[in-house]
Amino acid sequence: MGTETTASGLKEFIQRSLDGPVMRELDFDLKLGRELRRVTSEYSIRFHPEEMICDDALADSIWQAALQLLERVGIYNVDTNRVVFLGRDEVDAAAASAPKELVVGEGKDAVKVNARSHDSKAPPLIMAQPARSFRHKGGSHTFVSRMLDAYASDAGPLGHLARQLKRELEGIPYLAETPGEMIWARAIVRWQRAVAKLAGKPGLWLANAQVSSPPAILACYMEDGLLNRFNSYISVHLMPELKLNWDCLRLAYAAQELGVYRFCAADPILGGYCRNSEEAAVVALATLLGYTVYASPKNIVHTNVVNRQGNYTTRGPLQASSAARRAVERNLAVPMHGNQSTKNGLGTTASLYELAALTLAQTGSGMAWAGRGYAFGLGPDGECRTDLDWKFVTRVSRGASGLNREKTNDLLLELLEICESQDATNEGKPFDYYYDIKTLTPSAELVALYAGVEEELQTMGIPVG
């Protein structure tokens, strides 16, 4: 590192984004690629093609390689073209302060999430996001509009709120980076809080505001009874491969002031800067460690590796994300968050096999909790996971809990053979094809599909709890 000044915490991160060493983005990319190859070689990180979940020694090597990479390369602010260098002592201190347990939700609806080992008999906690997170192909506002229409004639409290929101939203376009996004975001959260209250769970964990711009996210905290420090998180990750921008730091500062959890995700792209799954595992972990410096002590840690085709469930991405998770399990010991995203759409057998593979791999590499994910078959605005999906994930994760690494690996290889044999993406059908949009009751056809796949998994020897 030479004479480079290092950062410690969010304040110094902001300062180093202003006065750190200047570097062209292309030069940073070249340095990252060069150092990534170097540390992967120095620490002899090599995955066996048939070993989907790595052993302890390899996980520890990945941890050391990630620390070395972060110290050599730093994190790049694309808005200022400056590098924020991090000292090993700073990263170690941030890792030590990272929360070993999380409490999400409020009052009687609060849930404690503890760190979990890869072979723990205690299953991960599954906390599905509420209906406001459904993403429709026409946009999330399209789904909400149809739901408001469905309830507008009711005489009860939801009917009253539906009519009120329809009046407020009339003529307001839902466009990113405009006031319309802020207005819609608050309306969606008002709806979800009303539903939670009516269900007898006023303190329910609601996760995040399903919007993109910082003003729209923060608008959901501007009214009492909407999002708060107990029921939500703010995502502070925006750039892949050890990069960030001012939006990332602005949101981190806002979350810090609000006392809200900071969601730190590292989802590197296999086949981009990372030539192989070994490099993807190292850069994913280095990214998480960088986030930890400015997001601690209220950070939620998450990683999933994806290939350039947007697929999470082939061998390379699964090997990389599992290895990064195992390194977190052994050396950071925080509650690792999971993500259940599939390339196939709702109502397809292929999507459920993908879902089973992801759940098995993540349960077997230390996932402590899960609560987000999408079925991308319907395009970039695919459907969110449904209640049947989360029940399926819960049952597979319960069955997989307590299995040793070797057994989990063998079962995962069987599942991957099925997933990888299905080349074409099956888009499936939209949410309201299978569900009554008002009662949210699934069709008999959909219920039978999940039951059939569960039976097939049991026949394969994959336990479903």
Average pLDDT, integer, range 352-362: 95
Return the pLDDT at 281.
96
Coil, helix or strand for 239?
coil
Give which of 220, 223, 286 is closest to 251, Cα–Cα. 220
Give, in degrees to the nearest 5, the angle at Cα 202 between 190 and 154. 55
pLDDT at residue 4 tops 60: no
CA 129/CA 387 separation, integer angstroms: 9
Question: Quick check: bond before 297 cis, omega within 30?
Answer: yes
pTM, whole model, 2 decimals? 0.91
Q: What is the pLDDT of residue 379?
A: 46
Calpha distance 295→262 (Å, rounded): 6
* CA contacts within 13 A on the Cβ side of 81: 6
Query: In this predicted structure, what is the pLDDT of residue 136?
Result: 42
Q: What is the DSSP string of 164-218?
A: HHHHHHTT----TTSHHHHHHHHHHHHHHHHHHHHTT-TT---B--S--SHHHHH
* pLDDT (average), residues 77-92: 93
Determine how β-strand 82-84 pairs with β-strand 75-77.
antiparallel
Q: Identify the burial level of 114 via C-beta atoms within 10 angstroms of its C-beta, where 0-12 means exposed, 13-18 middle and 19 or more buried.
A: middle
Report the C-alpha gap between 257 and 263 in whole angstroms: 15
Position 169 scores a pLDDT of: 93
Overall residue count recorded for the chain in this entry:
465
Query: Would you state the pLDDT for residue 211?
Result: 72
pLDDT higher than 50, residue 311:
yes
Backbone angles phi, psi at 108, to 5 degrees: -70, -10
pLDDT, tens only, 205-221:
988 877 778 888 899 99
Neighbour-count burial for 430-464, b at 16+ CB within 10 Å, e otherwise: bbbebbebeeeebeeebeebbeebbebbeeeebbb
Tell me: the pLDDT tens digits for 173-195? 888 788 998 999 899 889 889 98
As a 3-state breakdown, the chain gives helix, strand, coil percent values, each rounded to 5, of 50, 10, 40
Q: What percent of the chain clears pLDDT 70, i.e. is strictly above it?
A: 93
Whether residue 111 is predicted with pLDDT greater than 50 in this model: the reply is yes
Q: What band does 238 get if pLDDT is binned at 50, 70 and 90?
A: low
- Quickly state the pLDDT bin for 258 (edges 50, 70, 90): very high
Q: Give the pLDDT of residue 376.
A: 64
Q: For residue 134, is pLDDT > 50?
A: no
Q: Say whether 111 sits in a helix, a strand or coil.
A: strand
User: In which band, very low, low, confident or very high, does the pLDDT at 377 lie, cut at 50, 70 and 90?
Assistant: low
Render the burial of 126-160: b for 16+ CB within 10 Å, e for the rest: bbbbbbbbbbbbeebbebbbebbebbbeeeeebee
The arrangement of secondary structure in 1-98+240-313+322-337, i.e. its CATH architecture, is: Alpha-Beta Barrel (3.20)
